Amino acid sequence: MSDAVVLTLREEPKHALIAAAITPDRLASLGAAEIAALPVVHGGRAAQLGDFFKVKGERSATIRIEGELAHVEGIGTGMAAGEIVVAGGVGRDLGVQMAGGRIDVHGDAGDNAGGAGPGASRGMTGGEIVIRGKAGPDVGARMRRGLVVVTGDGGRGTGRGMIAGTVVVFGTAGPGAGRFLKRGSIVALGAIERPATFRYVCTYRPPYVPVLLRYLGARYGLAVADRHITGRYERYAGDMAELGKGEILRWVGD
Amino acid sequence: MTTAARLRITGGTVYDPANGVDGVVRDVCIEGERIVADLPSGVPRLDARGMIVMPGGVDIHAHVAGSSVNHARRLLPEEHAADPVPGDAIRRSGTGGTLPSTFVTGYRYAGLGYTTAMEAAVAPLAARHAHAELDDTPILDSGCFVLLGNDDYLLRQIATGEATRARDYAGWLLGVTRGYAIKIVNPGGVARWKGGGSERNVTGLDDPVGSSAVTPRKILETLAGAANALALPHPVHVHCNNLGQAGNAATTLESMQAVAGQRAHFTHLQFHSYGGARGKEWKSAARDVIEYVNSHPEVSVDVGQVMFGAATTVTADSPVEYLLHSSTGRKWVNVDIELETGCGIVPYAYKEKAAVAALQWAVGLELFLLARDPWRVALSTDHPNGGTFLSYPQLIRLLMDRAYRDDRLKGVNQKLLAGSALLDGLAREYTLSEIVIITRAGPARLLGLTSKGHLAPGADADVTIYANEPDRAKMFATPRHVLKAGTLVVEDGQLRRAPAGRRLSVRPEHDRAVTRDLKRFFDDYACVSFENYGAEPVA
């Protein structure tokens, strides 16, 4: 058993590389050779993880992934435990339908991070995803539980159709953020457009936001400004076209 | 031209109830695509010693192709991701799930020993689509049941008392759509659903549909009469009103009485055999319904058993799907097929712990176990509505193995089972011969397929050979060899060949004068021109 399994991309794949097999729960019980033999799909054709990644370490629920991963999709799909640290940006479907564990991305993420698989009614059901950069469209879409943090801007439809859970966006949340949301919270430290079907409730200092932001500073070392911790937030309840038990919290200053 | 391939299947225990053969060790000889009486010595042999030989399976009612099935596939991409089927030298790639892709449907049916399946609901407008998909569904011989019970032109003929023209229309429509039988789904109910207004379904046989002259009863009478007058091989195939409603057994019995004396097939009877009152507590009324079937030899049924697990409800009965979507909150589609019918789809899961699902499961088993004439009670799950065809082996085990059945019964929700014959204890165990009847010989006879479902000389060489496993579920799930029209498609449990299947269709005689009126109707109301209608251009 190693401290971590380190996957290093040999060269950038020519086509989309679906690497849904990369989950800590799976790698925790596999040797290096078995990890290299895990199935991936490259440009619609079956291939093996080892064709694209150098594998170092084995039998660990901590995974480090290195290289230019913008074309690598589906990392952490359905993971339930363990930790993935990505030393760069990743492609779409990061942590789709994950149920637990942590994903820490030191770069941008593609579409649908923490979201639902094709046709599925719910996205991630637990765990934490931290994206230290921009997130693509539909980040946290249809999530059921868990935490997604984007330190840059969130894409179009951030938190769209959330069933529950929390999305924190440090930058600007994209258009259509929070639409069709049933429950759950979108905490917007930057600009966010209020959907027409969200209703203004009040401006206050929500007690859980400082707790959450301090946790992000302590656990992930994110630079959280004091003004966000101590500041006031406008609360919008919605989506009134859906269940209406969710909220958008927009930071409005001290 | 080479001489037809010959094969002697030797030493197997043959079950051929249509010819009175019940577990006799004998050879089965095949020449070309047919069974023959005998072959000279020295022809190739297939050793079936210790194995069980029976005709290929015939599914009398399944949803395997066409626009509704394809809508359902498009609604369920998650099933495709979960069950990919890679291609190889024999197979085309595809996907599985509750609605497999066309090629996979063929492979998997053959993998259960089935060689014929009827697509049970084809909207005439989409007949070309259904045939195109069936062309790509290998191995299976197939036919289409054409939806007519809510057809606008037909309802207009009934409204004006033109029974003869209605019959000619049915005959014409079956011909141009290359259909096999007339299907009725919730007669009048779908038309009301599509019509809007406050009444979105019918509640009984005498509700007016548009005109006071048009009622579900009248539609049933007209089409049952048409099917018999047109001398179709399969009588009218009826999905009754009030599917899935508590207390619907009364409607089902009334529907059977409405066509008394005429041949008629009532499909997925399980979904129509509930007691209690509408909107109130459900209970089983299987005993009442099957007793009527037992005592009326002109009536045939298939059961539409519910099997626990994933299913997808696909039906032309749009109002039912609306109810199902409202109660489950699952994603759905609902489609208006302009002048002809409707379509609704909701994915569904039957759970042992759910009271209604447990009742449905019990009602289906009661129907099977209380049926006296297996020739008129076919095995079906209304694939994929009550469960997929892949659950047939489990269903067979439930019927053949009382201990297993009683054990499963203990694990289901008992809340609604009071009064169910199953709870009182049904000792019956189906014999192998009876299973052959309800899965092969019976459906073939009910469909009028004289060369299927049996092994007499002249029959199609559709033969399934099973290892004689004591676990019947395992036995029926993994045939050792399957022959389709004389071609060995499954050999030693492996798919070896996947030839194209044949289409079964009818072209009934009718008065061609009906087309003059129809052309006017098409010009006034239809989205396609008369000449472009049907599975092939109208000649």
**Interatomic CA distance for residues B136 and B134, integer angstroms:** 5
Residues of B within 8 A of A46 (CB-CB) are 86
% of chain B at pLDDT higher than 90: 93
Predicted confidence at residue B1, as pLDDT, reads 40
Whether B330 contacts chain A with CB within 8 A: yes
User: Residue ranges per domain, chain B?
Assistant: 1-117+455-501
Residues of A within 8 A of B76 (CB-CB) are 119
pLDDT higher than threshold 50 for residue A125: yes
CA atoms lying within 13 Å on the CB side of residue B324: 28
* CATH classification (class only), B1-117+455-501: mainly beta
One pLDDT digit (tens) per residue for chain B, 539 residues:
445 699 999 999 999 999 999 999 999 999 999 999 999 989 999 999 999 999 999 999 999 999 999 999 999 999 998 899 999 999 999 999 999 999 999 999 999 999 999 999 999 999 999 999 999 999 999 999 999 999 999 999 999 999 999 999 999 999 999 999 999 999 999 999 999 888 899 999 999 998 899 999 999 999 999 999 999 999 999 999 999 999 999 999 999 999 999 999 999 999 999 999 887 889 999 999 999 999 999 999 999 999 999 999 999 999 999 999 999 989 999 999 999 999 999 999 999 999 999 999 999 999 999 999 999 999 999 999 999 999 999 999 999 999 999 999 999 999 999 988 898 889 999 999 999 999 999 999 999 999 999 999 999 999 999 999 999 999 999 999 999 999 999 999 999 999 999 999 999 999 999 999 999 999 999 999 999 999 876 54
pLDDT digits (tens, 9 = 90+) for A1-34: 789 999 999 989 999 999 999 999 999 999 999 9
Place of tokens 């195939």: B237
Whether A120 contacts chain B with CB within 8 A: yes
pLDDT digits (tens, 9 = 90+) for B251-304: 999 999 999 999 999 999 999 999 998 878 899 999 999 999 999 999 999 999
> Min CA distance, A106 vs chain B (Å)?
29
> Min CA distance, A19 vs chain B (Å)?
14
CB-based burial of residue B20 (10 Å sphere; 0-12 exposed, 13-18 middle, 19+ buried)?
exposed
A residues 22..81 contacting B (CB < 8 A): 46
Cross-chain residue pair A121–B76, CB shorter than 8 Å: no
Place of tokens 């209406």: A244
Joined tokens for residue B188: 């009048």
**Stretch A104-122: mean pLDDT:** 95
The DSSP annotation for A54-115 comes to: EEE--S-SEEEEES-BTTEE-TTTT--SSEEEESS-B-S-TTTT--SSEEEESS-B-TTTT-
- B77 vs A46, A119, A121: nearest CB: A119
Predicted confidence at residue B504, as pLDDT, reads 97
> Min CA distance, B77 vs chain A (Å)?
5
User: Residue ranges per domain, chain A?
Assistant: 1-62, 74-253
Predicted confidence at residue B396, as pLDDT, reads 98
> Min CA distance, A121 vs chain B (Å)?
8
pLDDT digits (tens, 9 = 90+) for B172-181: 999 999 999 9
Whether B86 contacts chain A with CB within 8 A: yes
ipTM above 0.90, yes or no: no
pLDDT digits (tens, 9 = 90+) for A49-95: 999 999 999 999 999 999 999 999 999 999 999 999 999 999 999 99
* H/E run at residue B372: none
Cross-chain residue pair A118–B79, CB shorter than 8 Å: no
Cross-chain residue pair B81–A46, CB shorter than 8 Å: no
% of chain A at pLDDT higher than 70: 100
Q: Is A126 helix (H, G, I), strand (E, B) or coil?
A: coil
